[in-house]
Amino acid sequence: MNPLLDALLLRTGYNTTLVTIGAALLGAAAGAIGTFVLLRRRSLASDAAGHAALPGLAAAFILMAMTSGNGRWLPGLMIGAAISAALGLVVVHAITARTRLKEDAAIGVVLSVFFGLGVVLLTVVQALPSGNQAGIASYLLGSAAGMLRSEAELIAIMAALTALSVFILRRPLSMLCFDPDYAAISGVRVRLTDAALSVILLAVVITSLKVVGLVLSVALSIMPAVAARFWTDRVQHMVPVSAALGAAGAYAGAAISSSAPSLPTGAVIVLIMFGMFVVSLLFAPARGVLATAIRHQAFRRRVHRRQGLLALDRQESIHDGMTLRLLRQSGWIRRDGVPTPAGVLAARDAAHDEALWRLHGDRYPGDSAALHYHRIVPIKQVLPADALADLEALLAAQPARKSHATTRLAPAGY
């Protein structure tokens, strides 16, 4: 059997299965919280948190190696990492709030300086006499292969708890992202919710240390959310889409890298998620590049067709190639530009519709502006029947504006 297929189907033993499921849970939690991080425009704060985890990780390793002789106890490493990552976020906040430096500079400072300090401590680790320093480098890029059972269980439990807390806090979090002031007057404790967002982000970062590694942990919360953004405009859809993308990417990445141990797990997960991002960017139906281009093209054709019909009605000459082509395709003009009977009718309808829209715009300018239809949609598709009947009556009461196309048939090109 193909080892990759085995890994994907969870047939490679208890530990790997646990790691793969744990990674999927972690991906789901990171994707869900990533939505709020993205909407709150704090994507790169998680980068600072990830890099800032290194000195705590290394310090915890040194401390445990000196006291108990074994520095690789995962819960201890996680506590150390959590402390220094939290300190990093606090420093980012303090620099932004207390000095005139902006957030980007604060993030850059924290991630480079903390990481530098971590590297200094890593060289101390390498000089430790116990010789058990092997393996700490795997926290830089993650490695799911060869994980202990207790570690895998811890990661799975933490990932599940994180996912659960995102689920519980989804309402205050989305209110916070869209309208902090409204959230505050509706009884959401803004500062507390913001702090909860940071705590969940921290939990994701330290849970991902062993699997994804601290250099790339930021991708786990950014990529699924940015990809999900292309699929929907509604936050209550974006959170599950992002969680699903995160879970799928992390699951596949952990499975692939456990079947090929030389591949760092974090890098594989990130590449798979990037693939999902590219597919979403190009092909997502809501905001993808292709869908947007198709919609834009359809809109252009509509505008050209409408303006062509109005020009036919006013017996103006049409020179635009696209307009002529569209009118010909619809059977509204002949090859030489003369309107067909169907074209005359369509032009009269368009002119009538335009008159109704103009009247609507004159009488209800506010409503009309709020509709955003740019007068290219037939008015009867927009207004309710009674309002339309009122408009028709008003229009009929006005002095008639003659529709030229009924009186004279002239080639549109002249």
Partner 1 sequence: MLIDFLQLSLVPMLIAVLASMACALPGNFLVLRQQSLIGDAVSHVVLPGVVGAFVVTGTIATAPMLIGAAVAALFAVGLIEIIRRLGKVEPGAAMGVVFTALFAAGVVWLEQSNSASVHLDVEHVLYGNLESLIWLDAESWASLVNPAALATVPEQLGRLAWVMAVVAIVIWVLWRPLVIGTFDPAFAASAGARPGLTSLALLVVVALSAVAAFEAVGAIIVVAMFICPAAAARLMTNKLHTQVAWSLGFAATAAIGGYTLAAWGPIWLGFENSVSAAGMIATTGGLILLLACCFGPCRRSR
Closest to partner 1 by CB, 287 vs 301, is 287
Compute the least distance from the CB of residue 404 to partner 1, in Å: 44
- Continuous H helices in 260-380: 265-283, 289-314, 321-329, 341-363, 365-371
Q: Are 53 and 216 in contact (CB under 8 A)?
A: no
Q: Min. distance of Cβ 339 from partner 1 in angstroms?
A: 40
Q: Closest CB to partner 1 among 25 and 218?
A: 218
Residue in 236, 241, 204 with CA at minimum distance from that of residue 226: 241
Q: Is 339 helix (H, G, I), strand (E, B) or coil?
A: strand
- The residue (of 174 and 221) whose beta carbon lies closer to partner 1 is 221
For the chain, what is the largest distance between any 2 Cα atoms, rounded to a whole number of angstroms? Answer: 102
Q: Which residue has the tokens 């000089």?
A: 127
Smallest gap, in angstroms, from Cβ of residue 188 to partner 1?
A: 23
Closer of 217 and 315 to partner 1 (Cβ): 217
DSSP string, 74-108: HHHHHHHHHHHHHHHHHHHHHHHHHSS--HHHHHH
HSE, CB side, 13 Å, CA atoms: give it for residue 76.
14
Write down the least CB distance from residue 196 to partner 1, Å: 21
Per-residue tokens: 63: 């401390």
**b/e map 314-323, b = 16+ CB within 10 Å:** ebeebeeeeb
Question: For partner 1, which is the closer residue by CB, 98 or 408?
Answer: 98
Q: Which residues bind partner 1 (CB under 8 A)?
A: 38, 41, 43-44, 47, 95, 98-102, 104-105, 107-109, 111-124, 127, 137, 140-141, 215-216, 218-219, 222-223, 225-226, 229-230, 262-264, 266-268, 270-271, 274, 277, 281, 287, 289
Nearest to 272 by CA among 305, 309, 246, 290: 246
Measured from the CB atom, is 44 or 199 closer to partner 1? 44
158 versus 219: smaller Cβ distance to partner 1: 219
Q: Assess contact for 413 and 312: CB atoms under 8 A.
A: no
Considering the complex, what minimum distance in angstroms separates the CB of residue 199 from partner 1? 20
Instruction: State in angstroms the smallest separation of the CB of 271 from partner 1.
Output: 5
The CB-of-286 to partner 1 minimum distance in angstroms stands at 12
Scan for tokens 């049409």, then name that residue: 318
